Amino acid sequence: MAVLDARVSVASDLKIVGVVPASGASRRMGRPKAAMELAGRTFVQRAVDALRAGACHDVIVVIRRGDAAVEDAARATGAQVLVNDDPGEGPITSMRLAIKQLTDDVDAIAWLPVDFPLVDGEIVRQLRDRVAVESPPLALPVHEYFVEGVRHEKRGHPAIFTRTLFAELMDPALEGGARTVVHRHLSQASVELVRDPRVVVDIDTPEIFAAVEAGTPPYTDRPMTSVSEQPT
């Protein structure tokens, strides 16, 4: 109990701000993803709810200018809303806007793109606790699943970037955005191995959305199709 109490105490001192990038054009989906609803909540509301439930101190949503439906959905969450006037370079521009808003006492950001609306607060809290205890530069979930008996792994969201990485993320010479920074520090990252497809399901097409609504999201375990395919 003493060890658990110590971990809870450390975690409570960690200040993490959740960031939901929602400034994409949603071209593949064909309509604004942030304002779409799943089980009665908009995508952006689900992301904000997950970050709050995961004990983020504050949540920032970054939107593009001129999309009234997304702006209305974002402001309805009660999160701080920032407008990205130049989203063409990709999500890194939204991340930089959010980082610029942070006070000096913020230890990290929990980055949860709006098109990952299945993520819940428990995985956010698990990653947060890992950062509190292990002090890595980066923490992220990895989903483990099996297809025809073969094990697969896929990195997912949210990703927690600590303050030690902020300078790299803000570097104007950075190519490849946050993905590049993740790869640079992957060997030092704290990884939460999960059997939970929700952390990797990127709902960015009508087909994936339909599959999720039907209860058949991608990256779930698939059994053998015949006895002959059983591994020896």
Domains of the chain, CATH where assigned = 2-214 (3.90.550.10)
Amino acid at 152: H
Over residues 181-232, the pLDDT tens digits come to: 999 999 999 999 999 999 999 999 999 999 999 999 899 998 765 433 333 3
State the pTM of this model.
Answer: 0.90
Query: Strand runs (DSSP E) across the chain, as ranges?
Result: 16-22, 37-38, 41-42, 58-64, 80-84, 108-111, 138-147, 150-155, 159-162, 190-194
pLDDT recorded at residue 183: 97
